[in-house]
C-alpha cells in the first residue's frame, strides 16, 4: 500500500471519511490484505521470482505475469476465509469494533450492514478472535520484575451445560508497561497457573492484592510453579498499581454490559480480547483500526 498521510496521523480512531478515503471498495481491501501478507512484490510460488500480480476476474485470488496457472489467495486462513460478505463490509465492521469504547453487539452489526443476525454473530466472533491472535504474543514482566494481580467477579455469565446464570472469577495481571485479563473457568484456579505461565515471563515476581487470591493460585502443590514465579502480597491494597488494574476491570464490565445482559462462558475470552485490544491502544495513543488491519495471523477455527 503506498504511503498515505492519513496513516501518519496521531489518532486513536479513524473517521468514516478517512476510512472511505483509504478503502473505497472491496477491491482496495483485498489489495491491502495482499500487501500486508505478501509485500509489494510477492514471489511467484512456482518460479520464485518477484513479479507483477493482477486480480483474476472477480475472484479473491491473484495471478503473476510470469507463470500461467500460479495463484495467490490472500484470504486463506484469515478471518475473511470462506465468507460471502463483501470485504468492504468486513473492514467497516472492524472500524466500529476499533472506534467504540463500549463494545459492539451482533444486533448492531446486523442492522448496520444489512446482513442476517447469524452472519453478524459469526462476523463478530471472527473479529474478536482476530484481535486475540494479534495480541497473543504479549508477555508481562521479566526476571525480577513485579507483576501485580487483582481478582474480581464477572456476573451474568451463562454455563452452556447447566443453562443458569452464575459468576466467573477473573484475574488481571499488569506490569509497568501492559496488562492482561484471565478468565478462570468454574473457579478452578489450577487453570490460572497455566494461564499465568503463558502470559507472564518466568522469574517475574507475582504481587497479589490480597492473600486469599495468592492462596487460590498457589494452593495446589506444584514446586516448579512456585520456583518459577516468586510471590508476595502487596502491603497496601490501595497502591496505585492495584487501583489502576481495578479501574481497568470496571471498564471491562462496562464494555460488556453496555451491549449484553448476559454472555456465554465459552465466549468470555473473546470479549476480553476485544476489550484488551481497543483499551490497550487507546492508552498508548495508537490508531486502533490500523493495528487491526496491519497483520492477519492465521485463525485455526472460525465460526
Q: What does the angle CA 143 – CA 146 – CA 149 come to, to the nearest 5 degrees?
A: 130
Contacts of 267 (CB under 8 A, 6+ apart): 125
Q: For residue 20, give the nearest of 9, 33, 31, 6 by alpha carbon.
A: 6
pLDDT on residue 245 = 95
Q: What does the angle CA 296 – CA 294 – CA 82 come to, to the nearest 5 degrees?
A: 30
Give yes or no for residue 231 having a pLDDT over 80: yes
pLDDT on residue 161 = 61
This prediction has a pTM of 0.86
Give yes or no for residue 6 having a pLDDT over 60: no
Average pLDDT, the chain: 86
Q: Which domains does the chain have, with CATH numbers?
A: 25-74 (no CATH), 81-134+270-303 (no CATH), 146-261 (3.30.420)
**pLDDT range class, residue 160, cuts 50, 70, 90:** low
CA 147 – CA 272 distance, rounded (Å): 19
CA 175 – CA 8 distance, rounded (Å): 29
Give yes or no for residue 291 having a pLDDT over 80: yes
The CA dihedral of 170, 174, 178, 180, to the nearest 10 degrees, is: -20
Q: For residue 177, give the nearest of 139, 151, 216 by alpha carbon.
A: 139
Over residues 243-266, mean pLDDT = 87
Q: Per residue in 56-86, pLDDT tens?
A: 888 888 888 888 878 888 999 999 998 899 9
Over residues 167-188, mean pLDDT = 90
pLDDT on residue 8 = 40
Over residues 212-216, mean pLDDT = 91
pLDDT on residue 158 = 79
Give yes or no for residue 9 having a pLDDT over 60: no
Over residues 6-31, mean pLDDT = 79
**pLDDT range class, residue 300, cuts 50, 70, 90:** low
**Kind of pairing, strands 205-208 and 146-158?**
parallel
Q: Give the number of C-alpha atoms closer than 13 A to the C-alpha of residue 77, restricted to the C-beta side.
A: 8
Q: Per residue in 86-131, pLDDT tens?
A: 999 999 999 999 988 777 888 899 999 999 999 999 999 999 999 9
Amino acid at each position: 500500500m503506498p504511503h498515505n498521510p492519513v496513516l501518519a496521523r496521531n489518532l486513536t480512531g479513524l473517521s468514516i471519511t478517512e476510512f472511505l478515503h483509504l478503502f473505497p471498495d472491496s477491491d482496495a481491501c483485498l489489495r491491502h490484505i495482499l500487501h500486508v501478507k505478501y509485500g509489494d512484490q510477492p514471489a511467484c510460488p512456482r518460479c520464485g521470482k518477484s513479479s507483477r500480480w493482477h486480480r483474476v476476474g472477480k475472484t479473491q485470488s491473484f495471478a503473476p505475469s510470469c507463470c500461467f496457472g500460479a495463484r495467490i489467495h490472500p484470504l486463506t486462513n484469515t478471518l475473511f476465509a470462506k465468507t460471502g460478505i463483501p470485504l468492504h463490509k468486513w473492514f467497516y465492521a472492524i472500524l466500529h469494533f476499533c472506534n467504540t469504547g463500549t463494545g459492539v453487539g451482533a444486533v448492531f452489526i446486523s442492522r448496520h450492514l444489512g446482513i442476517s443476525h447469524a452472519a453478524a454473530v459469526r462476523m463478530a466472533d471472527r473479529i474478536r478472535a482476530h484481535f486475540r491472535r494479534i495480541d497473543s504474543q504479549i508477555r508481562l514482566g521479566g526476571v525480577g520484575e513485579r507483576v501485580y494481580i487483582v481478582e474480581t467477579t464477572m456476573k451474568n455469565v451463562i454455563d452452556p451445560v447447566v443453562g443458569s446464570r452464575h459468576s466467573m472469577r477473573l484475574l488481571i495481571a499488569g506490569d509497568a508497561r501492559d496488562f492482561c485479563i484471565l478468565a478462570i473457568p468454574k473457579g478452578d484456579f489450577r487453570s490460572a497457573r497455566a494461564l499465568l505461565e503463558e502470559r507472564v515471563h518466568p522469574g517475574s515476581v507475582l504481587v497479589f492484592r490480597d492473600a486469599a487470591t495468592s492462596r487460590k493460585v498457589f494452593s495446589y502443590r506444584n514446586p516448579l510453579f512456585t520456583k518459577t514465579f516468586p510471590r508476595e502480597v502487596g502491603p497496601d491494597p490501595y497502591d496505585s498499581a492495584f487501583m489502576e488494574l481495578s479501574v481497568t476491570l470496571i471498564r471491562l464490565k462496562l464494555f460488556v454490559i453496555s451491549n449484553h445482559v448476559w454472555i456465554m462462558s465459552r465466549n468470555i475470552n473473546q470479549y476480553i480480547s476485544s476489550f484488551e485490544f481497543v483499551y490497550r491502544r487507546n492508552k498508548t495513543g495508537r490508531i486502533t483500526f490500523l493495528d487491526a488491519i496491519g497483520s492477519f495471523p492465521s485463525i485455526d477455527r472460525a465460526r
